[in-house]
Structure 1
């Protein structure tokens, strides 16, 4: 079969190699609309990259329910034996689209489940906690991870200055600076919903829930030195590993577990169960197995299915809901808003984001790039309520009332000792070698920081554990001694790892 090249309007392209000219030597004619279309389209081939999580990698696959949790939720995606198509995207947080894959950073872990009731998105990270518990601080935090407005370089000074002023960050920073700060690839790391969500069952009973996707491939991580060597060879190590694994039939898998807390239990803990900087102890709320996630296909077109993918915590389905988590509440707005800016008004009609089993029926009209019809077979039904059999609301799927605890403010303490308890437990779990690598990773990251910022961060670590602060201080001093032993240059220090 011969494939005939055409313009975007369907007209035959007579030559895709030569411009029309007035003579053998030119000039090029303005009437060469085929040349103009080709050049103009190239100028518009890029869309705004994500402000956060710009560098990413994705696969398609499926989720299969293996255990019955219908006592906790009526969500159809969790019916025993159900298999649901899934689109994944993993990413780094701070780097731009051209950043190296193997940098020390938190990894995004996002999944879109194409359920029969619409799309459910799990938009989390490879860590069970985050740096902050309130969305009000998020824009400032992200600015510290991006480039300095004058030098256009990453600024460790800004990062640690911000973290030192927000002690709630120390739990996440401890994980980031530990061995798990540079996963070998997405297949060798866990994924977490991170936030507290809610489930409700057929009886209308609500439960608080945490989602955990545990890798079946086992954990593997790079040291700073190993990552630095790898980046010198390739900046695309994650994409290469994923493509090679799928090409070789080695499909990565994760097991989904949930932690479940009865609704009435919230508020009985010394920590705030809706605080994104905290975990729920497994001894209090054990893991409950749900099913298996298998990612088994490289998308046919990366831009269409991964770059255009729009994940948002606002995408929930009946049986799955939200919680008073302040960061979650902020993300419910900000993620969908970011997609409308980046991809356009009708971003959820793009192939990566459109529901599969469910049919979109809504009254959102017009706007840029409306490339679909949604008049339900009757153009008179363009408002609601109407007499023309247009779509109507479905109150049978209403979420049960959310019981709000008026005593929740007891957690709202800026200098909260609870911020140090879980990082202390994590630090005490590390053996001597793990602690020394943690200290050394700090030294590599904090090298360019001023003494004032270092001292403020040591004070935070001191409240976690005196040995933590002493170890990081000693590693920094040792690095400074090594730096002072080599000839001084005029080059600005650039952090490694």
Structure 2
């Protein structure tokens, strides 16, 4: 049965005047194509027909390779605490200060037509339209990730997407990569636990995931991690519930978000940060820039800094959700990158993906352009260029009053490096380990949560065709926690007896 589509809050204004072609000429007949007599063949001179068919063939742009399936909404971020001792970012400069935002939620592995209710991380891409330009915070609904170096990202995603030979996601590929990449154990434990399938986008947390730099007016540097704690409460689906919902309503999460905002039930999140003085990083017990690790709250307690509310739906999903672009390279004064190797790779990859997918002028689209600032650049031309620069010069420096550099970097230089160039692994800290935090997460779970984790993991590992891949996968969880390994081995053997 088709779901009812609601239109509350929708802009239903109709353009006045007659229907026209794309060039503005009035259309005489939009119901019948032009033919050579009654019942005759269609004429190539019917340019309205050709225009409509040609436009229809080009209505879609390439979908995102990852995070293709998404929904979004506009909102407001409000500062609730003084963080000026840590950052000079203008949008964080005073209690009560408000900034317009746009937040896009997404699944990771599925394509544009996939279902919402699946076991998959959820993307959390948040754009702040600040007076100093747009700041994009790109993360997930988990505080960690599967890998710690961007050079492994294409290989990882290849294992999650459809196999080029079979056209299906293959358990062999997934578990072969995870088993050979033990740093994934922590995130896999998150993914197959209760929070692996959120009940809705409103009922999950968001995280910046990466470590970022904050710097204050005095030039002092701090490392930070962002947390967005849902005020609606955490709600999740079991695998059985998700299987039913994904089939009955593939658009469940998108619909829930849109209709909640239409009803005036605006979802909110309490925004927190963990703050580490820069000097702590070198001697911290594990690498603080490792995306597969969390900072224990006992070491760096989360501090509330603001509130995020979503309160306005997009009017056109293609224009505002599909064409929205986010890049972790979009910083503002007072905020910058860290040596996180995954973040460093994404600084390039996200912008490059959008230039390919949407176009070189994607930043000029209404959803992407600065709303509280003005973009002043010397870039010109390209697809969909709108001539916004008029007759201004397209080079710098110039003597015609064009925009000039500020001579003040957005972030502070970081000198914590030494040695020659090369393909180096990350520096080793005293307690660097791929399994400790996964084991800690398992031991924090209730008995029921542990049982569901084992069941979820075993159901997927049992699909693996080779014993060595299955055994390696189980072995990683055994290294995280001996009890988890034993229970998982028994559960997998019950579903798929390992051959001698």
TM-score (ref. length: structure 1): 0.93
CA distance in 1 between counterparts of 2:387 and 2:93 reads 32
1:14 to 4, 25, 28: 28
| Contact 1:120/1:317 (8 A) holds in 2 | yes
The alignment status of 1:366 with 2:381, answered yes or no, reads yes
Within-5 A mapping of 1:235-250: 235-250=250-265
Q: Deviations over 1:49-76 (max 9, x none)?
A: 0000000011111111111101000001
Q: CA deviation at 1:209?
A: 0.5
Q: Deviations over 1:177-232 (max 9, x none)?
A: 10010000110111000000000111111101001111101001001111111122
1:89 to 92, 98, 104: 104
Counterpart of 1:393 in structure 2 is: 405
SS of equivalent to 2:408: helix
Counterpart of 1:485 in structure 2 is: none
CA distance in 1 between counterparts of 2:172 and 2:460 reads 10
CA distance in 2 between counterparts of 1:140 and 1:119 reads 31
SS of equivalent to 2:242: helix
The Cα RMSD (Å) is 1.9
Within-5 A mapping of 1:195-234: 195-234=210-249
4+ residue segments displaced more than 6 Å: 407-410
- Which runs of 5 or more residues in structure 2 are unaligned? 1-14
| Contact 1:112/1:119 (8 A) holds in 2 | yes
Q: CA deviation at 1:462?
A: 1.6
Q: CA deviation at 1:411?
A: 4.8
The alignment status of 1:461 with 2:473, answered yes or no, reads no
Within-5 A mapping of 1:30-429: 30-80=44-94, 81-375=96-390, 378-379=391-392, 381-406=393-418, 411-412=426-427, 418-429=433-444
| Count of matched residue pairs | 479
Q: Deviations over 1:362-385 (max 9, x none)?
A: 01111122124224xx43x21111
CA distance in 1 between counterparts of 2:342 and 2:408 reads 29
Q: Deviations over 1:230-258 (max 9, x none)?
A: 12211110011112211211100001101
1:475 to 478, 485, 491: 491
SS of equivalent to 1:396: coil
SS of equivalent to 1:291: strand
Q: CA deviation at 1:397?
A: 4.7
CA distance in 2 between counterparts of 1:54 and 1:281 reads 32
Q: CA deviation at 1:412?
A: 4.3
Counterpart of 2:40 in structure 1 is: 26
SS of equivalent to 1:188: coil
TM-score (ref. length: structure 2): 0.93
CA distance in 2 between counterparts of 1:308 and 1:219 reads 29
Report the more deviating stretch, 36-45 or 25-34: 25-34
CA distance in 2 between counterparts of 1:44 and 1:372 reads 23
CA distance in 2 between counterparts of 1:241 and 1:277 reads 31
SS of equivalent to 2:49: helix
Report the more deviating stretch, 404-413 or 188-197: 404-413
